[in-house]
Structure 1
């Protein structure tokens, strides 16, 4: 909806920006130094796969870039939506206490939120 006329180069910019946002969101959940480094690996691996598949198939990669961008943005948005929950869980972890058990209701709300966020983001940038 917002991006129907974007070029491949513009999609790469969107994918890189959303990958950076995803790496930062993942780093905010890290409790150890090596985890902060590891948080950068999934977006980099995604970019490598997209680039490799694009070259191997000889396509422009718009669809792969779109899907990567949607997934990355959804994960970043969910990190923001559940910020208080993650902060509480990290505080428990740092205090040496076990994390709260996830209830079926919480899981159902998360899945609904995930689906709604995915549909909304895909609609807005599709």
Structure 2
């Protein structure tokens, strides 16, 4: 036996498919944001090593010489930096430690940055 779909719901669902948008048709969906302080925002001073973590999961920044771009994901206080690419300019007297970022932890107004081996490589203050 076929079940009839109310016309209004069918039109909304069809428009969502055409526009490529997800539209919940019932009130059952929920979202649990990560616990702890949000990593979204600017970390470090823009005239030196810094990261700008966007609400959309994108990151941009600089190690003080080269630009950084990629994405980030957070779980609790831990931030994982994903697919980070850097420019490769030669800069004299610049410590490019931030270009080796892999993860970070947020503790109040500071983010501790770790490399792929889990070694602490630096700190960035929230701006």
* Shorter-chain TM band: under 0.3
Normalising to structure 2: TM-score of the pair?
0.20
Structure with the largest fraction of strand: 2
The alignment's TM-score, normalised by the length of structure 1, stands at: 0.20
The structure in which a higher percent of residues are helix is: 1
Higher CA-based Rg: 2
